[in-house]
């Protein structure tokens, strides 16, 4: 995985971006004319109550959905201009996700779980092996690559999920409640890992969380409320585990 310097360059630009859903004749507006820049190499925590628009914003930035109006430019591409097929291809090149529930295949080893998305790329078997071994080394699981998920702790499973995300060397790492299923110590280790990926490799990371301690690991905290940006602040804290 390449070491990328942190540069003052917006990787994400929202301009008057709105998302509207219709459900049972009712109009739902999870994002309401939101304008926002996120710099390349930043570490951002998205916070807010349920229904505030956090997941909608994450899905829009990650190319899983498109805005109803306004502009959304990510990695230099206006996502509103792409067809569903083009959006899927763009997503495969630029974005990787880490979820609360790990989403590992239980019959596969850690190595095989990390390699799986690479089988859809033109990489050779030797190139895939290099990517997988590098990713597992970065997350500290080089010695556990041949273990299945049921032979790993929850924290180790999440590390495998992060390695799977890293294997394609994405521009954006999106994490949706990545510590939600973990105990305090494992959560601390995962956030330390994400912090290292941001600091040492310049990865742009966006984390959705309800946990203020997790949010304090990020450089920037964005609090959404009813689809608008209520708070935008810089954080210099660190993750701590309660005794």
Residue 100 in contact with residue 180, Cβ under 8 Å?
Answer: yes
Beta pairing, strands 43-47 & 204-208: parallel
* pLDDT score for 239: 46
CATH of the domain at 56: 3.40.50.300
Q: How far apart are CA 143 and CA 155, in angstroms?
A: 15
- Structure confidence at residue 223 (pLDDT): 94
- Tokens 């969380």 belong to which residue? 209
The single residue listed with the structure tokens 């995962």 is 190
- The answer to whether 57 touches 46, Cβ cutoff 8 Å, is yes
241 within some domain: no
Alpha-carbon span 221 to 204, nearest angstrom: 14
Residue 2 maps to a domain: no
Q: How far is CA 243 from the centre of its chain?
A: 28
Residue-level pLDDT at 231: 86
How many domains would you assign to the chain?
1
| Residue whose C-alpha is closest to residue 224's, from 208, 243, 242 | 208
pLDDT of residue 236: 57
176 within a domain of the structure (yes/no): yes
User: Could you say which DSSP state residue 23 is in?
Assistant: E
* CA distance linking residue 224 with residue 12, whole number of Å: 17
Q: Does residue 151 sit within a domain?
A: yes
Asked if residue 46 is part of any domain, the answer here is yes
In a domain, 239, yes or no: no
Alpha-carbon separation of residue 222 from 107, 123, 169 (angstroms): 38, 37, 25
CA distances from 97 to 11, 39, 170, 184, 234 (A): 17, 19, 10, 22, 24
pLDDT, tens digit, for every residue of 51-88?
899 999 999 999 999 999 999 999 999 999 999 999 99
Closest to 35 measured CA to CA, from 16, 58, 19, 54:
16
pTM across the whole model = 0.87
CA nearest to 178, candidates 203, 141, 207:
207
Q: Is residue 119 part of a domain?
A: yes
Tokens matching residue 128: 């895939």
Alpha helices per DSSP H over 95-229: 110-115, 125-138, 154-166, 184-201, 212-215
Domain of residue 156 covers: 10-234
pLDDT of residue 25: 82
In a domain, 36, yes or no: yes
- C-alpha span between 4 and 160 (Å, rounded): 22
* Digitized pLDDT (tens) for each residue of the chain, 243 residues in all: 544 444 447 999 999 999 999 888 889 999 999 999 999 999 999 999 988 999 999 999 999 999 999 999 999 999 999 999 999 999 989 999 998 889 999 999 999 999 999 998 889 999 999 999 999 999 999 999 999 999 999 999 999 999 999 998 999 999 999 998 899 999 999 999 999 999 999 999 999 999 998 999 999 999 999 999 998 888 655 544 332
């Amino acid at each position: 995985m390449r070491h990328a310097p942190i540069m003052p360059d917006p990787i994400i630009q929202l301009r008057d971006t709105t998302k509207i859903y219709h459900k049972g004749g009712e109009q739902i507006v999870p994002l309401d004319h939101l304008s926002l820049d996120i710099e390349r190499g930043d570490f951002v925590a998205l916070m807010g109550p349920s229904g505030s628009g956090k997941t909608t914003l994450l899905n829009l930035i990650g190319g899983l959905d498109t805005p109803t109006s306004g502009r959304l430019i990510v990695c230099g591409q206006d996502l509103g201009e792409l067809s569903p097929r083009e959006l899927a291809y763009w997503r495969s090149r630029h974005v990787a996700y880490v979820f609360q529930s790990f989403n590992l295949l239980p019959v596969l080893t850690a190595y095989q779980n990390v390699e799986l998305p690479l089988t859809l790329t033109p990489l050779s078997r030797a190139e895939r092996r290099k990517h997988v071994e590098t990713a597992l080394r970065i997350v500290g699981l080089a010695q556990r690559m041949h273990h299945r998920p049921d032979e790993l702790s929850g924290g180790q499973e999440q590390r495998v999920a992060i390695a799977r995300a890293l294997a394609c060397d994405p521009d954006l790492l999106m994490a949706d409640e990545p510590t939600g299923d973990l105990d305090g110590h494992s959560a601390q280790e995962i956030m330390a890992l994400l912090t290292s990926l941001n600091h040492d490799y310049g990865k742009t990371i966006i984390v959705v969380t309800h946990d203020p301690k997790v949010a304090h690991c990020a450089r920037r905290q964005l609090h959404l409320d009813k689809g608008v940006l209520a708070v935008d602040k810089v954080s210099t804290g660190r993750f701590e585990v309660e005794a």
